[in-house]
Amino acid sequence: METLHCTTMHSAIGPLFLAASARGLVALEFDARLPGQQSIRLSPRDVRGEHEHKREQEKEKNGFTFEDTPRLMQPYVSQLEEYFASHRREFTFPLDLRGTDFQLSCWRALLAIPYGETRTYADIARAVDKPKAFRAVGMANNRNPVAIVVPCHRVIASNGTLCGYGGGLDLKRELLELEGALTTAFAA
């Protein structure tokens, strides 16, 4: 059973759950998830301490246990706070991304999207040498375990509209506004 360090931080967009291994950030999740949204946690409340007596005994579904260690998570929290204050455009902490080879290639393509810019699902499909796999790219984005840092919010539909985001379209719009990536086409 792997133990991940974790914390919940308060941000401009609401609480965020962060978990890291010794190799880097494994998860950044919105505390409030949409129905069907993937999570490494069974329940956010378990990690926040509302069921403190259960937390020590609970074995998470993916083979993780969590240790609430805000001090160890501070480097991640600090960079995210800088991002939300518009003082950081790039994250420099290590990531420990876990997924299929295809997912990892999609997530690396997302990491290459510059701050303040967007790409389409088709652009990402071409970037991973699977030009017809835009739907599979969408599913890889849906499985992205490190929201914001692996910037799937920067991916839009081919017609230029906002679509699909685990935190909801309002949150996607808010993140793109923060980065100055919104054009008048997104305003509708």
Q: How far apart are the first and last CA of the chain?
A: 47
Distance in angstroms (rounded) separating the CA atoms of residues 93 and 76? 7
Strands (E) across 21-173 are located at 25-30, 64-68, 119-120, 155-156
Distance in angstroms (rounded) separating the CA atoms of residues 105 and 136? 12
The dihedral through the CA atoms of 162, 150, 123, 34 has a sign that is: negative
The dihedral through the CA atoms of 91, 93, 94, 99 has a sign that is: negative
Catalytic (active-site) positions: 152
- The pair of structure tokens assigned to 17 is 């759950």
Distance in angstroms (rounded) separating the CA atoms of residues 58 and 79? 30
